[in-house]
Amino acid sequence: MANKLTSRSTDYSKWYNELVVQADLAENSAVRGCMVIKPYGYAIWEKMQAQLDKRFKETGHQNAYFPLFVPKSLFEAEEKNAEGFAKECAVVTHYRLKTDPNDASKLIVDPEAKLEEELVVRPTSEAIIWNTYKGWIQSYRDLPIKINQWANVVRWEMRTRLFLRTAEFLWQEGHTAHETREEALFETKQMNDVYADFVENFMAIPVIQGKKTESERFAGAEETYCIEALMQDGKALQAGTSHFLGQNFAKAFDVKYASKEGKLEHVWATSWGVSTRLMGALIMTHSDDKGLVLPPKLAPNQVVIVPIYKGEEQLKQIAEKAHIIAQNLREAGISVKFDDRDTHKPGWKFAQYELQGVPVRLAIGPKDLEKGTVELARRDTLTKEFIKQDELVEKVKDLMVEIQDNLFNKALNYRNEHISKVEDFETFKKVLKEKGGFISAHWDGTAETEERIKELTKATIRCIPFDTENESGNCVLTGKPSNQRVLFAKAY
């Protein structure tokens, strides 16, 4: 480890791949497109999970668990959903292996253990869940159902990248059932808000909320709301989606409820999810050429203490002081690691914790013991200063807030500087090529134009922002009338 990373300006994509592996976040596995999430990466994911889970429960959701497999006949029940995912799903066809008669050290699929009906490994769980809800819902008294599931899902993507696009990924998927269209729409928006709030205030990533165009919607949804973030290379990343499913799944699975008035009505549905893809967003929003930069709220270790010493006696004295400092910081609610390993030199450790994005690094040497100081280095600004030991706790507490804010504001400035209002297609292409980022432009509202722009520029409509005002104008490609700007970008 601690090899020098390729710089972002040299090759952003290579920088990303190297960083993920060298910072011990994840690596590729022996299974095509599937990753191993290493302990350090998983510790960050656990922090995200805990915070999201809390917010789901605060908004009245409960966790549950549904089967990994979806029988083919259920999978195909909601036509558009099936069509959307059929092209990339892993299929279980057999339930046994047997010894290869030609080579006793090998196993082969046992042809006698063929399943009567194939099982799809869930790419998303609407089908299996709505088939279950059918048994749970009879009357309005059974509604709403507001359930979340933490699970693994599989989508057989051909081109994969660690965290951003993997054949298997971890996610949460909320699935709710409601009496009315309004209630389901409220839920759809509420969960998009929960995502936006979490991603901005916890991950320090500014997002734009909006809805997807028809061609970018989730397969089977009537509306898809989303949060869109901007990465440092000017490409957008969809960080979370919340779908209004209308009555599509209720109709496909025949889920009706008796209303207060005694009428049988189809149930209204939503689903919403975020995944380990958020790890990719985190990395690409804040990190630099030295490695990962973590917002304090997500850092498994917010502070690391490195002793600078010669010989065991010095280490002993420094360790004594370091333990006191660590204890004081922990009592202030800050997570601290004291790295007294004698197998690695301080310089190596400095580089390692920079690579791993630890927000604050403290170094204590013999001079510091004499002077009552500590050297403090900030990961976000790469600045250093000496702090009096008795002022350290307050300083670090303040820094946790300051660093979190600084990262958000830096990302926000970058994002805002990279929203370009564009009126004609030549400028569109020029801005996209030279500057990147979001392009705010008029669009004639047709799927054809959207597709044509994608073919010509690789830019897609990321969303129709919620907070845009109506404004008359002309489509950036066709010149046809339009009454609202949408956001285009190249995207992950």
Q: Which is nearer to a second copy, 9 or 105 (CB)?
A: 105
**154 near a second copy, judged by CB under 8 A:** yes
Q: Under a CB-based contact definition with an 8 Å cutoff, are residues 19 and 162 in contact?
A: no
Cα torsion through 341, 346, 352, 358, rounded to 10: 90
Is 1 an interacting residue with respect to a second copy (CB under 8 A)? Answer: no
Please list every residue from 27 through 56 that binds a second copy, using CB under 8 A.
27, 29-31, 34-39, 42-43, 46
- Look up tokens 């002993």; give the residue: 316
Query: What is each CA distance from 440 to 116, 136, 459, 460, in whole angstroms?
Result: 52, 45, 12, 12
Q: Contacting a second copy (CB under 8 A), which of 107, 264, 382, 447?
A: 107
Cα separation, 239 vs 261, whole angstroms:
41
Judge whether 262 and 360 are in contact, CB under 8 Å.
no
Beta strands in 389-472 (DSSP E): 419-421, 438-442, 460-465
CA distance 488 to 484: 13
Q: Which of 23, 121, 199, 281 binds a second copy (CB under 8 A)?
A: 121
Q: Which of the residues 155 through 184 are near a second copy (CB under 8 A)?
A: 156, 168, 170
Could you tell me the smallest distance in angstroms from the CB atom of residue 30 to a second copy?
5
Query: Which residue in 120, 207, 325, 432 binds a second copy (CB under 8 A)?
Result: 120
Q: Which of residues 278-337 bind a second copy (CB under 8 A)?
A: none
Nearest approach, Cβ of 367 to a second copy (angstroms)? 30
198 binds a second copy per the rule CB under 8 A: no
Which of 23, 44, 70, 318 touches a second copy by CB under 8 A? 70
Residue of 376, 409, 384 lying closest to 286 (CA atoms)? 409
Residue of 22, 131, 232, 275 interacting with a second copy (CB under 8 A): 131
**Interatomic CA distance for residues 373 and 371, integer angstroms:** 5
Q: How far apart are CA 297 and CA 301, in angstroms?
A: 10
Tell me: does residue 3 bind a second copy (CB under 8 A).
no
Q: Tell me the two tokens of residue 192.
A: 């998009």
User: For residue 90, which amino acid is it?
Assistant: A
Residue 147 in contact with a second copy, rule: CB under 8 A: yes
CB half-sphere exposure, 470, CA atoms < 13 A: 2
In whole angstroms, the minimum distance from the beta carbon of 85 to a second copy comes to 9
Looking at the Cβ atoms of 35 and 459, the one nearer to a second copy is 35
Q: Which positions lie near a second copy, rule CB under 8 A?
A: 27, 29-31, 34-39, 42-43, 46, 62-72, 74-76, 79, 82, 86-99, 105-107, 109, 118-121, 128, 131-132, 135, 141, 147, 151-152, 154, 156, 168, 170, 343
